[in-house]
Amino acid sequence: MSGYLSGLLAMLAVNVIVAYSVFVPGSAGLLNLGAAGFVLVGAYTAGALTSLFEVPLALAVILGSAMAGLVAFLIAFPILRTRGIYMVLATFAFAEVVAGVLLNIPALGGAAGLSVMAYAGLPVVIPCAIGTVAFVAWLMRTRFGLSVRAIHDDESVAHLFGVHLRMTQVIALTIGGAIGGLGGGLLIHQFNFIDVQSTGVLFSIYVLLYVLMGAAELDPSLKFLEGGRYIFFGVAVVIIMMLRPQGVITRTLIERLTPSHRSNAGAGT
């Protein structure tokens, strides 16, 4: 396999993981524009552990994910005091604060970025992406998954049925942060480098587009369009918002396509 194809597949796998870090809290009605912040926390934590303390790669990535989850848990309480556009701005501000802090830590490379020697490779990254997809699919079928979907649909009704709104959203944001940290830890060890400038606001916007449009596979594969890919994305977003404001692939669509749903629907007729 060529180096370009290997890098493309690795980037797709990482994008899938990071997209799910936004999808989980989004399922609970939390619009997160701070995905880059959790990715940076996970990446720099894991990268520092392998490069400065010679911690094994697997353990470093796990600890990076845990650190991002812990940060998400701590910031969830003040962020959840906001609503609507203010919540979006709060998550965006969080990512900017993380970037500003990392830029001023010389031991972690500062503005030059952090380089590491440990390498993950496709045999690590792809199974992690598949595992993330399977985990979120299982999570959405649990009682917790039903709770976040109920909150997303109607908070008042969910509360009437006994769903603890605040704690469910805190858990959703924490899980999303941990998944983002996992993506960050894999990202830095797949490409052996990360910097704050390339993991900023545009990164968070792209991740949000991946969730809304299901387009995680398009960004890396449209490099041949050069500057035209931004025009493509702009036109695509407008079309999606006009024709499918709920997203390309929805929960209802998936339920209609699954065999179990069709058999249950047929049994009821």
| Measured torsion, CA atoms of residues 225, 236, 91, 26, in degrees rounded to the nearest 10 | -130
For residues 209 and 19, the model is more confident at 19
Give per-residue pLDDT as tens, 161-172.
Answer: 899 999 999 999
Q: Would you place residue 269 in the very low, low, confident or very high pLDDT band (cuts 50, 70, 90)?
A: very low
pLDDT digits (tens, 9 = 90+) for 181-237: 999 999 999 999 999 988 888 888 878 777 766 554 555 555 555 556 667 666 766
Write the DSSP string, 170-214: HHHHHHHHHHHHHHHHHHHHHHSEE-STTSSHHHHHHHHHHHHH-
Kindly report, residue by residue over 237-254, the tens digit of the pLDDT: 677 667 766 566 566 655
- What predicted TM-score, i.e. pTM, was given to this entire model? 0.86
Strand stretches in the chain, DSSP E: 114-115, 193-194
**Span 75-99, mean pLDDT?**
92
* Summary mean pLDDT of the chain: 86
CA 212, 255, 157, 136 torsion-angle sign: negative
Percent of the chain with pLDDT over 90: 61
Average of pLDDT values for 17-44? 93
What is the C-alpha to C-alpha distance for residues 20 and 136, in angstroms, rounded to an integer? Answer: 8
